[in-house]
Amino acid sequence: MAMVRSPAVAGLFYPAEIQQLQHDVRQLLAHAKFPDIKPKALIVPHAGYIYSGAIAATAYACLNPIATRIRRVVLLGPAHRVAVQGLALPNVDVFATPLGSVRLDTDLIKEIAHLPQVMVSDEAHTLEHSLEVQLPFLQSVLGEFALLPLAVGMTSAEAVAEVLDHVWGGEETLIVISSDLSHYLPYTTAQRMDTGTVQSILQLKLPIEQAQACGNIPINGLMLAAQKHHLKPRLLDLRNSGDTAGSRDHVVGYAAIAFSC
């Protein structure tokens, strides 16, 4: 019997009811504006869909022209709830959402399992939202694909970049970094900080600090990999919760950034 990682934030970060979730994701994707590019990697926010779903959709809508080519997704996000040394794999066979199950990519797991920075921790994944919230978008745009989910804890950008090198692949492999930007700053302060953070990412200027982005370590690792593989980042959307569904007193920043040749 397959071991399943069940959804932890369905009904909290996104609808738990299948039809409502399908409708919401379709609407977000339908309203997304995106350039004609073919991303190899994406940076996507991971808040509740009412807050960051529209920004995430601008990233995922870019995949429509190349969706049939993508067969595997390498998904990295920060470990919010459990202390992790390195990058944590789950000990399961599939990740489930209300839209169905996504099988884990056993071949890619074998590619990185020997690396010293890679560990196995079901605890790191059980309640983690940063990876889960990306899946309904990926399921809606790509259909069937295999997943390599990594919860990133205390490690270096170089360690992340080494993992990415092992699983880089070709046009069949998409890399997604799940990260929000600044947290709980006043609206104008957040705008200023997030604009600076995005400019650093667009210039591939390391390091991005944790105060700038909760997924700063995987972002920094992706930037190192982008330098090596000659990818160019492009800003798709930059907003915060004060622009979407929240108060402007204390906001969270969100950016969608695509990396392509």
Rounded-to-integer distance, Cα 202 and Cα 234, Å: 7
Q: What is the pTM of this model?
A: 0.98
pLDDT of residue 230: 98
Structure confidence at residue 251 (pLDDT): 98
Could you say which residues of the chain have pLDDT below 70? Answer: none
Name, in order, each residue with C-beta under 8 angstroms of 223's C-beta and a sequence gap of 6 or more.
Answer: 157, 201, 204, 205, 206, 208
Q: Is 214 helix (H, G, I), strand (E, B) or coil?
A: coil
Predicted confidence at residue 246, as pLDDT, reads 86
**One-character DSSP codes across 51-110:** HHHHHHHHHHHTTGGGGGG--EEEEEEE-SSS--BSEEE-S-SEEEETTEEEEB-HHHHH
For residue 1, what pLDDT is reported?
A: 84
Where in the chain are the domains? 4-260
Query: In this predicted structure, what is the pLDDT of residue 104?
Result: 98
User: Cα(138)–Cα(145) distance, rounded to whole angstroms?
Assistant: 9
Domain 4-260 fold: Protocatechuate 4,5-dioxygenase; Chain B (3.40.830)
Q: Look up tokens 């600090």; give the residue.
A: 209
